[in-house]
């Protein structure tokens, strides 16, 4: 494991901490392949479309990696370093998970960052303020699908997170139901064997002409987001050996 200073991270005894990918333990049988299809930065997309912030929506529509885009804006550079991107990632999720201004500024290492971001993205700050106001008045928030979620007033800082994760749940569940109906309707033996957050894992025979099936699954997943007003992108991988050696699949 490499730290922010570019040097190996060590334990209390000075021994380098090794990173191990548990996915390398799992893989398809010799007669089958797996395909993992996951949403691209789903929570961040929900946050952008929920807040109706034009520049954030445009960043997604132009194909930016969102954390890189935010690093470019925060650190005022066209070529952010990996450390700057990592800090921008912490800032992005800080907003979603309800970190306060002091925490966000400290995480990014940029004093006064929260005030600057509020001016960069006024719709974001307005949406957050309205969410806190609604919690104070009514004690709940609404997902983008219209589902009411109670939020304790002492946890109003978490209101945005309730909305984002609640909407993510709506999108994923809609995708699951529609994928199940689709797989029931086709003659090929393709099974959904696992769901982890916003990633779905499928198993199918090596003899299957799998690209049309995966293409339709990808379409169903993206349409589930569109239903709730979130323009989504799903990315399929093909797994021939083990889960850690997945290869990007163009369909």
pLDDT tens digits for range 27-42: 999 999 999 999 999 9
Only one residue has tokens 């090929």, namely 188
Among 13-17, 26-30, 141-145, 197-201, the minimum mean pLDDT is found in 13-17
Task: Please give the C-alpha separations between residue 227 and each of 64, 165, 198, 213, 222, in angstroms, as whole numbers.
Answer: 23, 16, 16, 21, 9
If pLDDT is split at 50, 70 and 90, which confidence band does 6 have?
A: low
Among 105-119, 140-154, 163-177, the minimum mean pLDDT is found in 105-119
What pLDDT does 217 receive? 97
């Amino acid at each position: 494991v490499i730290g922010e200073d570019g040097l190996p991270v060590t334990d209390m005894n000075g021994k380098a901490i090794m990173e191990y990918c548990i996915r390398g333990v799992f893989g398809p049988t010799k007669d089958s392949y797996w395909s993992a299809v996951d949403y691209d930065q789903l929570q961040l997309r929900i946050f952008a479309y929920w807040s109706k912030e034009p520049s954030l929506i445009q960043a997604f529509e132009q194909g930016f990696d969102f954390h890189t885009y935010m690093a470019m804006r925060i650190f005022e550079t066209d070529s952010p370093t990996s450390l700057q991107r990592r800090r921008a990632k912490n800032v992005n999720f800080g907003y979603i998970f309800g970190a306060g201004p002091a925490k966000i500024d400290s995480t990014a290492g940029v004093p006064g960052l929260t005030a600057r971001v509020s001016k960069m993205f006024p719709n974001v700050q307005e949406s957050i303020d309205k969410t806190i106001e609604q919690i104070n008045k009514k004690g709940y928030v609404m997902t983008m699908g219209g589902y009411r979620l109670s939020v304790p007033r002492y946890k109003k800082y978490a209101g945005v997170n309730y909305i984002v994760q609640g909407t993510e749940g709506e999108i994923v569940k809609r995708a699951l139901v529609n994928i199940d109906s689709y797989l029931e309707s086709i003659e090929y033996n393709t099974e959904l064997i696992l769901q982890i957050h916003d990633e779905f894992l499928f198993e199918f025979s090596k003899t299957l002409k799998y690209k049309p099936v995966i293409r339709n699954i990808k379409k169903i997943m993206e349409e589930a987001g569109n239903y709730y007003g979130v323009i989504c992108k799903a990315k399929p991988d093909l797994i021939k050996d083990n889960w850690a050696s997945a290869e990007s699949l163009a369909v």
